[in-house]
Structure formats: structure tokens, C-alpha cells
Structure 1
Amino acid sequence: VYGSISEVDEPLDMIDIFRNAEAAGQITDEALTLSPLPKVIWMQLTIINNEAAKRAEDAGLKVVMNRCPKMEYGKLCGEWGWMGANSGRITSRRGTITGDRIQSLGISKAVS
């Protein structure tokens, strides 16, 4: 556990902010002091700070606001139900268990 992101001594690819919009601005400013810069600033559901987003984008970072990475992953790979969300769609389709014992509903993988 770190007290701030500047204490992390490894490069960070993404800063995922679970704090309010005001704190997101401060965290974004701290992220902009890192070397190397992170690639993405991600603000969780209900967190929107347009000024912080502009500062990050002006520095070349990608910015996502008001989204959850887990939910976006589930939507993009077709495994929405796997993560516990109710899609409102009922199916009898079973997930595939791959050779490495991972259940997959949306990602096709040949199983030998």
C-alpha cells in the first residue's frame, strides 16, 4: 500500500481513480509529475472532472471518465454475466472451460 502514486517506484500504465471529482483533479496533477507518464487516467463511475481530463489529454494521456474497467471488459468480451451483472438476457448457453480451466462465454479459444 502506498500513500500516494508518487511513492510507486515502477512505471504505471494506468491510474484508476476511486475518489470524488475534486480529488481526481489532485490525483491527475500528481500523475502528471511522474516519469514516465502513465498512459491512461481512468475515473470510476460518477467521477467526472473535465478540467483534469483536459490537463491529462494535453500531456498526451488517454482519459476515461464515468466508467468501470471491469464493466467495460465484460461488455467488450461478451462476459457481462460472468462479472455478476444482469444483462436482462436469458440464455441456456454454457460457458466453455478451456484447457487451463478458465470459463469463457465470449472469447473463442480452441480447446485440445
Structure 2
Amino acid sequence: MTHNTYTTPINSDKSSENHRLTHTRVRVRIPQIYHQEPLLSNLISQQGLNITINAALLGGNAKGDGWFDLRLQGTAKQIDSALIYLSDLDVEVWHESSAEPDGW
């Protein structure tokens, strides 16, 4: 007796790649004019990202630029949208993309 086994790959739908989580490390320079703006909060609420602050430098008197070392986690589309948002504000961003998406 023979048994035919058929296994469907978990990610057989190419659109599922748009929903895979990845992460990017970015370093962001926040100009003084944006110190009172909720830029990081906007990345979370508007872009749907998870953000980890690895390091930050922002003076209490806000006389100079602020610097953040961030880990952005979301889909590639969400991260791209966030980088465009920051670019549109003329915020300097240096980023390193992860080589592999998170998860299986």
C-alpha cells in the first residue's frame, strides 16, 4: 500500500512576504526644530512599527540636535514608509538593514 503525502509550504503565497517582520537599525539626528514634535510616536502610531531605543542623546534644554540609535521592527513596507517619512522631514538617517527577516 502506498500513501501519497502532500504538504503545503507555509509561505506558498508570495504576498505573505509583504507581512514578514524584519528589522533595521537606524541612527537619527533630530534637529532642534523637531524636539517638541512626537516623531518617534508617529513612527509607532502612523507606520505601525515597534521601536527599541538603543541609545539617545537629547539635551534637557534642547539647545542642540538630538541623536537616537533605534531598532525599527515591522514589515519591509512599514520600514520603507518610515524612512520616507523621516526623509520628508529632512531628518538625517543612517541605516543598516538586517540580512534575514525575523521568524521562520
Q: Is TM > 0.5 for Structure 1 vs Structure 2?
A: no
Please report the TM-score for the alignment, with normalisation by the length of structure 2: 0.29
Q: Which has the higher contact order (CA 8 A, sep 6+)?
A: 2
Please report the TM-score for the alignment, with normalisation by the length of structure 1: 0.27
Q: Looking at CA atoms only, which structure, 1 or 2, has the larger radius of gyration?
A: 2
